């Protein structure tokens, strides 16, 4: 097959742009076409590539064929099908053989890969990108195949379309953008990200995504934002444990506020899972949020539905992080801490169809042990024992759930007070 023929055939096999009469999410019906004929065309192109005599193929033709494979590689999207995905896999093998590459990653690192990224960026412009969802879906796949140097060299072409997706109102585009930003932050060196304020722009985009209420978006955006804050660190500050303290404090405030007001159980659990790494990033600065964090965590436990083990695990992990980073100030908050731990223990002891997992019980014992070991917190087991006697909220098996560690602390406290065991 001639090079010009390969390029024209590959262009004709790309998913055509949509022509929607209004601004609405696309559906499967918007991609109606003969799927069998499309799969047959892909098989035919793969056969022609394999039959072509060995000769250097122009990078432009290889790039366009690579984008065809990227668009049809999976059967789930509405613009593809299982038959087309199978044909795309065969086309990918034929393309690699024609290009003399061992893998798609090797092809992407070549000039053909650079042309493919540039071609994709030309199609994902502010005026065109919403009409080309298949092209936008190629971005995560390309980023997974790129290595650090290749991603850094193509950052100027990759970042603008990703930011366009982040500014969209559809959750699926926001999630895709957050995943792409996270991948770029993992690949590209910090010095390159700091050039021209790119890291700051990425931080701003991710902060907007974190402020939303879509669980699938937040799951990608929060870890990416922590990476972006690290990337935005000024040169010469690599040895400093705190990165962008003011922005971290603002993010912590936003996260605690969202936890206190969020009504979606799935989003609450997801936000709670982000609290521990955020407190870890703050380090000793986490002491600023000790009182408010204990109040929010207690409120989460009080309003949770029985048997919400992931939420209780997130609460205990956050408390353990606070105990590690805010140890000097933990003694001043012993009553609130004791009440929170008692409420968690009560939820673990309450009868339920699904018993709590053993690691969760062990985590409670570990958190209690670490909190009691903080300076001035040796009276914490006694406070918990007092809450048990005063409010009668906890069942008799409370000591058994906490295990031997808490039972020993309580016995020692009773011995010091000269009381007999109830």
Give the model's confidence band at 338: pLDDT under 50 very low, under 70 low, under 90 confident, else very high: confident
Q: Is the per-residue pLDDT at 244 higher than 70? A: no
pTM of the model: 0.78
Candidates 111, 133, 107; CA nearest to 26 is 133
> Rounded distance, CA 155 to CA 370, Å?
45
Percent of the chain with pLDDT over 90: 15
Interval 99-136: pLDDT, tens? 888 888 888 888 888 888 999 999 899 888 888 888 99
Token reading at 170: 């559809």
Cβ count within 10 A of residue 419? 10
Confidence of residue 166 (pLDDT cuts 50, 70, 90): very high
pLDDT tens digits, one per residue of 280-324: 888 888 888 989 999 999 999 888 777 788 888 999 999 999 888
Paired tokens of 340 = 């929170």
Q: Give the residue from 278, 275, 350, 339 showing the smallest Cα distance to 309.
A: 350
Tell me the torsion sign for CA atoms 16, 21, 23, 28. negative
Instruction: For residues 392-398, give the mean pLDDT.
Output: 45
pLDDT tens for residues 377-386? 766 766 666 6
CB 180 within 8 A of CB 224: no
- Residue 349 confidence (pLDDT): 73
**What band does 240 get if pLDDT is binned at 50, 70 and 90?**
very low
Q: 219 with 270: CB under 8 angstroms? A: yes
Cβ contact 215:178 at 8 Å? no
Measured CA to CA, the distance from residue 108 to residue 305 in angstroms comes to: 49
């Amino acid at each position: 097959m001639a090079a010009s023929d390969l390029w024209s055939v590959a262009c004709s096999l790309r998913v055509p742009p949509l022509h929607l009469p209004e601004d609405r999410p696309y559906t499967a019906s918007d991609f109606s076409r003969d799927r069998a004929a499309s799969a047959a065309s892909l098989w035919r192109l793969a056969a022609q590539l394999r039959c072509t005599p060995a000769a250097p193929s122009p990078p432009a033709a290889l790039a366009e064929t690579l984008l065809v494979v990227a668009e049809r590689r999976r059967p789930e999207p509405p613009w593809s099908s299982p038959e087309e995905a199978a044909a795309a896999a065969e086309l990918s093998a034929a393309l690699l053989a024609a290009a003399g590459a061992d893998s798609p990653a090797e092809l992407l690192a070549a000039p053909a890969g650079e042309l493919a990224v540039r071609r994709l960026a030309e199609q994902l412009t502010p005026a065109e990108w919403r009409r080309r969802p298949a092209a936008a879906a190629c971005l995560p796949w390309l980023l997974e195949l790129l290595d650090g140097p290749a991603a850094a060299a193509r950052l100027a072409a990759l970042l603008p379309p990703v930011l366009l997706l982040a500014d969209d109102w559809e959750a699926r585009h926001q999630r895709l953008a957050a995943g792409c930003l996270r991948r770029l932050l993992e690949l590209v060196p910090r010095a390159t990200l700091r050039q021209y304020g790119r890291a700051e722009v990425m931080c701003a985009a991710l902060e907007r995504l974190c402020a939303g209420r879509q669980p699938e978006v937040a799951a990608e955006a929060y870890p990416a934002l922590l990476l972006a804050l690290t990337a935005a660190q000024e040169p010469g500050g690599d040895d400093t444990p705190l990165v962008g303290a003011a922005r971290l404090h603002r993010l912590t405030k936003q996260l605690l506020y969202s936890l206190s007001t969020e009504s979606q159980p799935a989003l609450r659990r997801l936000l709670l899972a982000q609290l521990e790494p955020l407190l870890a990033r703050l380090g000793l600065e986490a002491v600023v949020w000790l009182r408010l964090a204990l109040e929010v965590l207690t409120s989460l436990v009080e309003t949770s539905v029985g048997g919400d083990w992931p939420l209780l695990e997130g609460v205990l992990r956050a408390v353990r992080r606070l105990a590690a980073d805010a140890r000097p100030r933990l003694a001043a908050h012993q009553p609130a801490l004791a009440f929170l731990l008692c409420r968690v223990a009560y939820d673990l002891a309450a009868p339920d169809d699904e018993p709590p997992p053993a690691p969760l019980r062990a985590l409670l014992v570990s958190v209690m042990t670490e909190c009691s070991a903080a300076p001035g917190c040796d009276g914490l087991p006694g406070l918990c024992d007092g809450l048990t006697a005063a409010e009668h909220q906890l069942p008799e098996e409370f000591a058994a759930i906490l295990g031997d560690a808490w039972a020993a602390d309580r016995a020692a406290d009773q011995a010091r007070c000269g009381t007999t065991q109830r």
